[in-house]
Every structure is written in C-alpha cells, then in structure tokens.
Amino acid sequence: MRDIDKGSITSPQGFRAAGIVAGIKPSGKKDLALVVSDLPATGAAVYTTNRVQGAPIGVCRQHLADGHARAVVINSGISNVCTGEQGRADARRMCAIAAEQLGLQTTDVLVCSTGIIGVPLPMQIVESGILRVVAALREDGGPEAAQAMMTTDTVAKHAAVELEVDGATVTVGAVAKGAAMISPNMATMLSVVTTDAAVPAAQLQQLLVRAVSRSFNCCTVDGDMSTSDTVIALANGAAMGGSVEPADLSPKGFEDLALAMEHVCRQMARAMAGDGEGSTKLITIRVTGGRTEPEARQVGLSVANSSLVKTAAFGNDPNWGRILCAVGYAGVEFDPDRVAVSLCGTPIYGNGQGIPFDARALSGAMQAKEIEIDVDLRSGAASSEIFTCDLTYDYVRLNAEYTT
Amino acid sequence: MRDIDKGSITSPQGFRAAGIVAGIKPSGKKDLALVVSDLPATGAAVYTTNRVQGAPIGVCRQHLADGHARAVVINSGISNVCTGEQGRADARRMCAIAAEQLGLQTTDVLVCSTGIIGVPLPMQIVESGILRVVAALREDGGPEAAQAMMTTDTVAKHAAVELEVDGATVTVGAVAKGAAMISPNMATMLSVVTTDAAVPAAQLQQLLVRAVSRSFNCCTVDGDMSTSDTVIALANGAAMGGSVEPADLSPKGFEDLALAMEHVCRQMARAMAGDGEGSTKLITIRVTGGRTEPEARQVGLSVANSSLVKTAAFGNDPNWGRILCAVGYAGVEFDPDRVAVSLCGTPIYGNGQGIPFDARALSGAMQAKEIEIDVDLRSGAASSEIFTCDLTYDYVRLNAEYTT
C-alpha cells in the first residue's frame, strides 16, 4: 500500500471532479462540488444515526437502493435539514439537474448538503451552479471538490493510496469535510471514497462499514452528532477492466482493499480531528487491553469527549485525574487498580494511584501539535484509537458567533 | 410547604454545623465543614456511578450499612480520589477523629472530600482542623458549612422548607456544592440533606433516590461525571419526638416529605447549574410529551450537554438547528415531523420545519440571566426539567488553568 502525494477521489482511474463558487456562501468561497465516474459504478453509503436527518439522506437511500451510482453532487453553506417537503424536493432536483447534464439517470446521482440547519437552499443559485460545476469537471479536480465541501474547515481534506488487489494495481481515494458537530455515528461530516477496483455493491457496503467503524466513528470534536453525516463509496472497476456487475473479490483481495479503505478513511478522520473548530492540537487516545473493540472505543470516546480533558490539553495541564474520571464513567467494567495511563509517553497512573512525574517537563511535552493519551485497561486484548482535539477559546468564539 | 429564608441543613431541629479554614486550600478560604445531629438519626446516601470512586465513598458505604449516622465531615480542596490504600486510611481516620471529639462511634460519622484528584490529604492539617470545626459547631452554622464545601463555586448553596408530615411540622434543609465535572449519575457535587422528621432508613433511601432523580440527576454543566459525587440524607426525628428506630411514615406523609426533599434538592441542582463554571446564564430545558420520564430526561440531557447549544446560548444565537440536532441524537424514538420546540417562549420549530421568527428580538430575549428551551415530543405524557448553563470563554479559561 503506497500513499499518493496530494491524492484524492480523482486519483483512481475513471473519476473526474470539480469544486466551484456557486454563490451559496455569503463569503464567496467555493461551495459546490461534483464527482463523477466515467464508467458504471457500484455504490455504498453510511449515514448519521440521528433521528433528525437531512433531506439529502432520504434521497441517497432511494438512489442507492439498486447498489449503483455514478455521481455525487455536494453543496456547502446550507445543510438542507429541517426544511420539510420543499427540502426533499430540492434534494431530488439537485440530482435530476446533475443527471440531465451528465447524461445519467437521476437515480445514478447522489446528493449531500452541509452547513446551517433550517434554511432553504437558494435553488436558482444551486441550479446554475450545477451547470457550471459539470462544465468544470477535471481528471485532477478532487482537491478542488474537497475545498468546495468545507464549512468551518481550515484545510481541504483528501488522500489516496495505491495497492494490489486480486492481481490488479488499484487506487483508493477520499475527500472529507468536518470540523464541528463531529461525533461518532456520525458527525457534520461528509466523505466520498472512490476506487477503481471492481467491487460488488454488497461487498462495498461491508468494506465501507468496517472502514467507517475504525475511522470516522473513532473521531470526535464536540460530541454533537449531526443530521447530515454521510460517507459514500463508489467503485468503478476501471483498474480491473470495468464491470457493471463485478464478481466478488477474493478473500485476500477483500482484506487488502479493506485495509486501504480503512487507511484513507483514518487519514480523513485524523485530519478532521486535527482541524476541529478552534483547536490547537490533535489528541490521539489509544486504548489497549479492552475486552472488546467496541468497549475500547467507548472508553476512548469517553476520554475524547470530556470537556475537562480537552481544556486541560489546551492548557498543557497534565491533570491526569480528569482522564481517569472519564475512563471511569465510560460505562465499561474494569478494575481501577489495574488500569495504566500514560500521557505523551510518560506513565502517570498505575496500581490505583498517581505515578510521580516532572510536571514542568510533561506540560512542556503537551505543547506539541500532537499529543497522545494511552490507556491500558488490562482486561483483554482489544484496542481502539480515537482522534480528537482540544477545547479552546476559539471553539467558543466560533460557535457563539455562527449565525448572528 | 413554605420556603425558609436563608434556610440550610441547620434549619431542622437538632442539627448543628460549622465551616472553617483548616488550611487545605492554598487560597486560605474555608475548606472544612461538619454537620452533626444532636439525636440519633437514620441515614441514606446516593453515590456516583463512576467506576473510579473516591476513598470517602467506600467509607460512607461501610458506615451507612446499619442505616444510621449522626455526622458528616467534609473537606474541599483535595478530593482523596486515586490515592490508593493511604487515601482509604485517611478517610477512615477523618471519621474516627470526628467521632472521638463528638463522643460518637466511628461508624456514626460519614466523610466527603472534593477538589483535585490524585493528591494525598495533608492529614496533620485535616486532623487539627477537625478539632477546631467541632469547637465551632453552631445551631445556625449551615450556611458556613455550605461555604466550606465550595471549590470553584461562586455562591454558597443552601435551602430549607417547612411542611406538615403526619401531623407534625417538620423541616427539610440542604447544602450542596458543585460547579463543574457536573453530569447526572452524578457529578463533582456533594450535598447533605437534613430533616427533623422521623423516617426509617429504608424509607429515607427511597425518598433520597426519588429526589435525586428529579434534581441532581437533571443537572449538567459539562457532561463529566465525577468520582466523588455523594448526596447524604440524615433524619433525626427531632420534630416528631425523636426516635432511634422510627415507624414508617404514612403513605401521605411519605408523599409530602418526598415533595419537600425534591423541592430542596431541585433548588440545589438549579443553583449548581446557574453557578456552572464560567457560565453567564441558567438554561432550563423542559421536555414534555415523552413516552416515559427517563426518555424525557434523556432528551433534555442530550440538549443540555450539547456544546453547540451551550455556545449558541452564550452568543445569544437563536440557532435552533442545534437544539433539533441534539434532540435527534438523544437515542430516543420520536417523529421529527411532530416535535415542537420553543426558545424563550417563542415557537421556532414545528411540523418538520422552522417557524419564522424575529431573530433580533429573540436574540435580545436570550440575553436574560435565565433562558428556557421547551421541547414537546408529542409521543406521550411524561416530562422532565433539566438545568444547565452556557459554555463560555471563562469555562475554558478556568479549566485550562486549574492545576498549572
């Protein structure tokens, strides 16, 4: 598996993409993205589990019912959530217009929207934007599509890897956005994963669920699970001769592709946490010694969502009691006297009590752009790695001043 | 039921209390409290469900095993959590010294500690403090005891009510502390409830559990559940002639006392939320139309713990999408198209979409010291009321600079 420098969703063969300024965002920044497979492709998706869901999600579910899709149109600025029947009609219309321009069936097009909740889309602007974004499609347009998905993100998020699958050299690429309302299962996050491997829709769905569980579902900024979260995968088989109804991957091919999808999705999740609203540092929480992977993840997320841990990280404060406290209320059984905790590689807790450390030196180590918290539960062999960020003045400023 | 002005744990007959400067806090503020019943009393307690628990909790469990207790000694500044065997010995020793001074059995004394985690208690200071706090006991010492429990609290929290129970005029009083690491089930909160009603220990436990479920467990500042949370109730029967082994209250007497205990505990919970670290306003979330009370509480807590709702409240931003979003991920089944939401009395969401409102006027209304969010789930008759506060720059400042 080889990382591709500046890789994205257009790194796999047979995909084009674009990102343009449609005029939805008052800021005049890019706000409309499109990715298209030039060949028939299988599709899969994972959505937010929030009971309140954006209109685009219902449309994606319908259009993916047959396991095929060729394009995803994405706008940022307005999320098309809590917009009633009009919102559902608008989401369908975005697909229909893109399909018409691309010469596809409406059901071959998926749609995502991200931004403020409860505001109707300016459909005249969106419609004319779709005409222009189709005209702007390029074979290297993936990074621009990533830009056009951004809301409060400060960096565009994209990656790709190349690997061998069942004898062919294939590529897996991804773009993603998300900087707040980020919490597992999932967040104000959108991501599109493309591959030129040939994968049946059912296998693609399995691969995506597995990759998401170890990437986006291990990433939290503020514990708020959004109404729009969507991860879409498209596989067009271009590197394997193309195929409308591809045969199953071999067991080894499946595992190889699973690792690649997990890898690019983890890069996206890590980038989202590192770009968390107002954050100054990325925090990686590694939980080992869990009885099961879900339990290890639950403990890691409990630490990652603790406002007290996150503010202490911002203040470079080695206040390990807050870490222990969050491990304790994770809802997982363990023996507090056996747990071991390290911060930035320094053992700080074990045998039921604190381990003396040089507070000044550890506070200095915490000033790095990336810090690590290791929790060994010593009750099993399962592990999980969680990405989050610190809680800062700027998070409060950004979110106290978002609409007014 | 009549509120008693400046009431506290010494409002019921036969209780004395005190709060002094022992010297545990570097600030020189009060840090050691004691409350004592002059008569034998029954006792009950509810503790944190965190898997990591402070040493005092284990001691309280042992000493309350017989359903009787007469005194509670409380220190602030250091929480005696994650302090190993020495911490357990220190907690037992605090009870033993107080018991000796008061002429009681060690098991008649309960102990609570609140403050930083992982630091051993300075036992010489604590021991000499206990001698002095016993000497300082007064019949009106309740408010001073409340002061000595404070950590980052900005106001002392105490209340009392008078009512008739089974033909006698009895009083219920409470003190509490807590301003962060506050989350249901429960928080870095301590509270002591006293009454001069005569109540068997089993009934006292039932009354306390019910009062806590509708007060402290409906209060959240930051979603962090602490390792020390303890609510203790003492009933000495002084207003009903006293009794070592009191008879059961009548069903009506039980209900009357239940409402009184709920009332003073809710006053404490409301005061804690209003005094949340760095907060500028109290937020009350009223959930109606739930299928069950626990579900209604779950929805209210989901909204109350949303960093995005809390920062929007700080910014006086009527960003109702964030409220809907938090309702949606509460993990409770409901129909998003039937839910109705009001903010400061203004209907903002219904029939699956936003209701137009005057944003400037509503933002103005949000500048009040107390704001209300009403969520009607329209799926049943159960309700719950949750207290929380906004998330501000000062919360980040206080918690980024706590130990360093």
pLDDT tens digits, one per residue of A121-154: 999 999 999 999 999 999 999 999 999 999 888 8
Task: For residue A337, give the chain B residue with the closest CA.
Answer: B84
Average pLDDT over residues A286-302: 94
> What are the pLDDT digits (tens) for B11-69?
999 999 999 999 999 999 999 999 999 999 999 998 887 777 889 999 999 999 999 99
Confidence check: pLDDT of A257 > 70: yes
pLDDT of residue A195: 94
Which residue among the candidates B151, B188, B194, B195 is catalytic per the annotation? B188
Q: How far is A394 from chain B (nearest CA, A)?
A: 8
Confidence check: pLDDT of B187 > 50: no
CA B62 to chain CA mean position, Å: 22
Question: Could A87 and B404 be called an inter-chain contact, meaning their C-beta atoms sit closer than 8 Å?
Answer: no
pLDDT of residue B143: 96
Using the 8-state DSSP alphabet, how is residue A220 labeled? -
**Measuring CA to CA, how many Å separate B354 from each of A81, B176, B350?**
10, 40, 6
Q: Does the CB of A152 have a partner CB in chain B at under 8 Å? A: no
**Three-state DSSP state, A236:** coil
**Measuring CA to CA, how many Å separate A360 from each of A317, A318, A363, B403?**
9, 9, 5, 12
Distance CA B28, CA B398 (A): 19
pLDDT of residue A186: 39
**B2-274: CATH number:** 3.60.70.12
More confident residue, A277 or B184: A277
Question: Could A393 and B395 be called an inter-chain contact, meaning their C-beta atoms sit closer than 8 Å?
Answer: no
Confidence check: pLDDT of A185 > 50: no
* Chain B residues within 8 A of A116 when measuring between CB atoms: 319, 321
Task: Spell B217-238 as b/e; 16+ CB within 10 A means b.
Answer: bbbbbbbbbbbbbbbbbbbbbb
Confidence check: pLDDT of B273 > 90: no
Q: Does the CB of B329 have a partner CB in chain A at under 8 Å? A: yes
Q: Does the CB of B72 have a partner CB in chain A at under 8 Å? A: no
Q: Does residue B188 have an active-site annotation?
A: yes
Q: Which CATH class is domain A282-400?
A: alpha beta
> What are the pLDDT digits (tens) for B327-359?
988 889 889 889 999 999 999 999 888 899 999
* Chain B residues within 8 A of A401 when measuring between CB atoms: 315, 317
* Chain B residues within 8 A of A305 when measuring between CB atoms: 223
The chain-wide mean pLDDT, for chain A, equals 90
Residue type, A400: A
Listing DSSP states for B45-113 in one string gives: EEE---SS--HHHHHHHHHTTTSB--EEEEEEEE---SBHHHHHHHHHHHHHHHHHHHT--GGGEEEEE
Using the 8-state DSSP alphabet, how is residue A215 labeled? T
Q: How far is B14 from chain A (nearest CA, A)?
A: 37
Question: Could B399 and A328 be called an inter-chain contact, meaning their C-beta atoms sit closer than 8 Å?
Answer: no
Q: Does the CB of B401 have a partner CB in chain A at under 8 Å? A: yes
Q: Which is nearest to B156 in space by CA: B6, B299, B347, B333? A: B6
* Chain B residues within 8 A of A81 when measuring between CB atoms: 321, 324-325
Question: Could A336 and B52 be called an inter-chain contact, meaning their C-beta atoms sit closer than 8 Å?
Answer: yes
Between positions 30 and 59 of B, the ones with CB within 8 A of A are: 49-53
Residue pair A179/A189 in contact (Cβ under 8 Å)? The answer is no
Confidence check: pLDDT of B181 > 60: no
More confident residue, A306 or A105: A105
pLDDT of residue A143: 96
| Listed range (A208-222, A315-329, A387-401) with the worst mean pLDDT | A208-222
Distance CA A195, CA B103 (A): 78
| Listed range (A9-23, A175-189, A210-224) with the worst mean pLDDT | A175-189
Other Cβ atoms within 10 Å of A251 Cβ, number: 8
- pTM, whole model, 2 decimals? 0.79
Nearest to B84 among A227, A324, A353 (CB): A353
**Three-state DSSP state, B207:** helix
Distance CA B370, CA B355 (A): 23
pLDDT of residue B180: 59
> What are the pLDDT digits (tens) for B67-106?
999 999 999 999 898 888 999 999 999 999 999 999 999 9
> What are the pLDDT digits (tens) for B197-214?
999 999 999 999 898 888
Percent of chain A with pLDDT over 90: 66
Residue pair A373/A342 in contact (Cβ under 8 Å)? The answer is yes
Most confident range (mean pLDDT) of A370-384, A386-400, B234-248 is A370-384
Q: Does the CB of A325 have a partner CB in chain B at under 8 Å? A: yes
Residue B184's pLDDT band (cuts 50, 70, 90): very low
Residue pair A159/A134 in contact (Cβ under 8 Å)? The answer is no
pLDDT of residue B340: 96
Nearest to A328 among B227, B317, B396 (CB): B227
Question: Could A224 and B307 be called an inter-chain contact, meaning their C-beta atoms sit closer than 8 Å?
Answer: yes
Residue A255's pLDDT band (cuts 50, 70, 90): very high
Residue type, B34: L
* Chain A residues within 8 A of B222 when measuring between CB atoms: 307-308
Confidence check: pLDDT of B323 > 70: yes
pLDDT of residue B156: 92
Residue B404's pLDDT band (cuts 50, 70, 90): very low
pLDDT of residue B227: 65
| Listed range (A99-103, A166-170, A308-312, B175-179) with the worst mean pLDDT | B175-179
Which residue among the candidates A107, A188, A195, A230 is catalytic per the annotation? A188
Nearest to B400 among A81, A315, A404 (CB): A315
pLDDT of residue B336: 87
CA A175 to chain CA mean position, Å: 8
Confidence check: pLDDT of A227 > 70: no
Best residue in A119, A279, A322, A334 for a mutation probing chain B (most B CBs within 10 Å)? A322
Q: How far is B52 from chain A (nearest CA, A)?
A: 5
pLDDT of residue B138: 97
Q: Which is nearest to B19 in space by CA: B37, B33, B5, B36? A: B33
**Measuring CA to CA, how many Å separate B105 from each of B69, B71, B95?**
9, 10, 9
Using the 8-state DSSP alphabet, how is residue A344 labeled? T
Distance CA A109, CA A322 (A): 47
> What are the boundaries of each domain within chain B?
2-274, 282-400
pLDDT of residue B161: 93
